[in-house]
Amino acid sequence: MSKTADALIVLEELAVSLKESAENITSSAAFEEGRLMGYYEALSTLISQCQVAGIGLDEIGLAGFSAEDLLKKSKKAA
C-alpha cells in the first residue's frame, strides 16, 4: 500500500472517531459544551483542509456531514 493510501486510511479513522465522539455528547453541561466546541473546531479544520487538498468527504467517512450541525446540537442542548 502506498503512503498516500495509508495516510487516507489514518485520516478517515481520525475523522470518523472525532465525528462519533462529538455525536455522543448528550449533556449540556459546560464541560461537555466545551468538548463539543473542540470537536467542531477540529472537524471544521479537517473538512477545510480536505477541500483545499481535493479530498472528498466521502473518502474520509464524512459524506453528508456538516460541522455546523454540531453548533445546532449545542444550541438545542442548552
Q: Does the pLDDT value for residue 75 go beyond 70?
A: no
Q: How confident is the model at residue 77 (pLDDT cuts 50, 70, 90)?
A: low
Residue 57 CB-density burial (10 A; 0-12 exposed, 13-18 middle, 19+ buried): middle
The pLDDT of 21-37, averaged and rounded, is 94
The residue with cell 460541522 is 67
DSSP string covering 37-62: HHHHHHHHHHHHHHHHHT--GGGGT-
* In the chain, where the domains are located: 3-77
Over residues 17-40, mean pLDDT = 95
φ/ψ (deg, to 5) at 53: -85, -5
**Quick check: 52 pLDDT over 60?**
yes
pTM of the model: 0.88
